[in-house]
Amino acid sequence: MAKNGKNYIISSLVEHKPGVLYQVSNMFRRRGFNIETITVGESEQAGLARMTITIKGDERTVEQVVKQLNKLLDVVKVSILDPESTVTRELALIRINTPNATVRSDVINYTEIFKGKVVDVAHDSLMVEMTGDSDKITAFIELMKSFGVREIARTGITALPRGMRSTRME
């Protein structure tokens, strides 16, 4: 598969049971498709989980991914989300070195500008919670690098279409 190409967001409803994540990730591995990010959690419908997968590739690859996903019996519905009309969010927890008071207040200031939150304070570090689209989080992390980033945990993207367009099962 083309390593470069456009980013696509695939939203799928899957049976909420053991082994489904394995089926999906194994299919990607076997067919040589690359997962950029994947998030899984309960959906609005009982017994169904929502898997949000982002991949990079050309249109043909994405079409194949969607077909192969649909072929899995535990995958109930698959939609490709149009980035133009989709709300995407990611959450990151970032621990930043704050050796002295000046750095500490700089970090707090930047966090406020980025509309993040300080969620944990230690004597020489702060933990910041940041949500937003992935670019914003990446930008914040870049900014923090000059202070020294100790740990990062990012969730990967989750997404839903805006307005009336639905990914629900009919």
Would you tell me which residues interact with another protein (CB under 8 A)?
14-15, 19, 22-23, 26-27, 30, 60, 63-64, 67-68, 70-76, 169
Select 74 or 133, whichever has its Cβ closest to another protein. Answer: 74
The number of angstroms, rounded, from the C-alpha of 166 to the middle of its chain's C-alpha atoms is: 19
Tell me how far, at minimum, the Cβ of 78 lies from another protein, in Å.
Answer: 10
Cα four-point dihedral sign 29, 158, 43, 84: negative
Select 12 or 125, whichever has its Cβ closest to another protein. Answer: 12
Tell me how far, at minimum, the Cβ of 158 lies from another protein, in Å.
Answer: 21
Select 36 or 74, whichever has its Cβ closest to another protein. Answer: 74
Select 122 or 169, whichever has its Cβ closest to another protein. Answer: 169
| 3-state DSSP percent of the chain in helix, strand and coil, to 5 | 30, 40, 30
How do 117-122 and 48-57 pair as beta strands? unpaired
The 8-class DSSP code of residue 18 comes to: T
Select 29 or 117, whichever has its Cβ closest to another protein. Answer: 29
Tell me how far, at minimum, the Cβ of 23 lies from another protein, in Å.
Answer: 6
Tell me how far, at minimum, the Cβ of 165 lies from another protein, in Å.
Answer: 21
Please name which of 106, 33, 22 lies closest in space to residue 64, comparing C-alpha atoms.
33
Tell me how far, at minimum, the Cβ of 63 lies from another protein, in Å.
Answer: 6
